[in-house]
Structure 1
């Protein structure tokens, strides 16, 4: 399936709100989340484009998904890493290699930067579908554990 991606803008806010709510309905830990912060996320990345972006994934007819990507420097891996906070593909487009093509397009675009070291993905612990997808896309599971200390608690 031929797809492309572009940076989202505030004009995409309604579509992104709908897509992100579909994602949150699928993720058990977010089912009780009443507040959607995608507009604040778009604004942040518009004001700080060097830190990342909200990306719309499209085919010629429609928007089929979105992703939130960010960059950070890793001393451990010796360069810039691309991370993904969220990735969502509409159900009717899943199983058509849309997500894997998108991820490989991102990696190939970043390879032009001599500081680029790799990409990091995460999934919720019980999400075996995501784990299988990541492994099939060429990602290896690492042994690190993620810990958070949130300063601002937002429901």
Structure 2
């Protein structure tokens, strides 16, 4: 029998509390410390853990979208197509920085279905339009 478990993407940040708050507000979730030492903060929603943010006092933002560097990893946040522009305004209002296709080395920037950003700590994420409401996250046991 497999032990029940889930996984979470963890981002490093010199200021994990504020980055966790950024994602909590962006995703309509809550954030708080995972342990008493304040080294890991979790962003959680009604469906469970969505994202972790770990304290790294020496963190420096990824150099992507510099053309010579790879993106390595990014968050893809699914948004209903009819809420796409509003989601972009929310992200920018919370401190996200829009990135153009030229900045990330892409040949095509289809702004009708995908918009690229960096979070306040420099991590890459995209808003991706989907035809209907994104499915709820389910923890598989």
TM > 0.5 fold call: no
Q: Higher RCO, 1 or 2 (CA under 8 Å, sep at least 6)?
A: 2
Greater helix proportion: 1
TM-score normalised by L of structure 2: 0.31
Greater strand proportion: 2
TM-score normalised by L of structure 1: 0.29
